[in-house]
Every structure is written in C-alpha cells, then in structure tokens.
Amino acid sequence: MSEHGFHVHGPHDHEVEHRAQHGGDSFTSRLAVLTAILSTIGAIFGYLGGHSQNAALLFKNEAAIQKTSASNQWNYYQAKSNKQNLAELSIVLTTGEAQEKYRQEVVRYKGEKEEIKADADRLEALAKDADKKSEAEMHVHERWALATTLLQIAIALSAITLLTRKRWLLVGVFGATGIGLLFGAMGYLHL
C-alpha cells in the first residue's frame, strides 16, 4: 500500500492476492508460479535482445568508421595519381636534370600509391567484416525480440486463464511458451 493509503491493483494482482489470502486451489497457485517464471525468462530474453541490438549498432558504427577511413585513403591515392600524372607530363615537357627528377618522382608516386591502395583495401575489408557482424547480431536480436514477444503473449494468456478459469486457454499459454523458448534457444545458438 502506498504512503497515502491509496493503491490500485490490476485484475491479475487482485486475483492472485485473493487466492493467496483465501486458500487458492492448486490450479491458481501453479498458474501464478508459471506466470512468474515466464516473466523472469522474458526479462532475461529482453536483456539479451537489447544486448545483441547494441552490439549490432556498435559493429555498424565500426563499419562506418572504416568506410570513412577507406574513402580518405582512396582520396589520398587519387591525389598521388594526380601528382604522378603531372610528373609524367613534366617528363615530356622537360629535358636533362629536370626530366630525370620527374622520372624519379613518377617511380616514387607509384610506390606510394601501392602502399595507399593496400591500406585502403585493408580498411574496406574491415568495414565489410564489421557489416557482416552487425547483420549477424541483428538477426540474433530479432530472435530474442520474437522470443520475448511470445513469452509476453503467454503471460497475457496466463492472466486471462486465471481470471476466466477456462483451462482450455492453457493450450495457448503452453504453445506460446514453447515457441518463445524455441526462438530464445535459436537466439542463444545464433541461428
């Protein structure tokens, strides 16, 4: 009860308290325990789903960083290509020592471009790897989210079963629970 003497109970809470105070039957007790267990498992699945979603976002962020770095390297590569082209043009337009200086610059730019290209290719590969990891984590997140949703449905059906005392609704409770646990296992196994 709150400090002001006013407290609102939900129908499920009221029924559970009423049965506990007035000697409930085993059906009510078992269903209340099942609901508590489903709530606990659902909370764990929700946590794991949030964790996998955060991991997917971190991998996606890493991919964006690597793509930007690769783009910077390709821009650097293009700048070296432009300098190489100017040096090659200068070879044609000059003679003697100046021409030899430009020949050496062309060789130097070719070597620098190879290093830059290798680094850009490496960064692109890192970006692709991070994208794949992000997609895999999002797939796992979808499994956890579906498992959590199915357990929430099972909890709702459990409350309806308890309030209406219609035992046939237990088929829905156990069905949603079973499928939810199956998707939880798939999330855990990264399937």
Q: Residue 15: how many CB atoms within 10 A of its CB?
A: 19
* Structural contact between residues 168 and 26, judged by C-beta atoms closer than 8 angstroms: no
Token pair 């590569």 is found at: 77
pLDDT of residue 26: 84
Token pair 């069905």 is found at: 175
The pLDDT tens digits along the chain (191 residues) read: 455 666 556 666 666 666 556 555 788 888 889 999 999 999 999 999 999 999 999 999 999 999 999 999 999 999 999 999 999 999 888 888 888 899 999 999 999 999 999 999 999 999 999 999 999 999 999 999 999 999 999 999 999 998 888 889 889 999 999 999 999 999 989 88
**Which residues are within 8 A (CB) of 54 and not within 5 positions of it... i.e. 6 or more apart?**
none
Token pair 């929700």 is found at: 46
Q: Helix/strand/coil (H, E, C) string of 69-102? A: HHHHHHHHHHHHHHHHHHHHHHHHHCCHHHHHHH
DSSP string, 125-159: HHHHHHHHHHHHHHHHHHHHHHHHHHHHHHHHHHH
pLDDT of residue 14: 64
| 181 token code pair | 């646990």
pLDDT of residue 25: 73
| pTM for the full predicted model | 0.70
> Cα–Cα distance between 133 and 57 in angstroms, integer?
10
What is the chain's length?
191
pLDDT of residue 95: 85
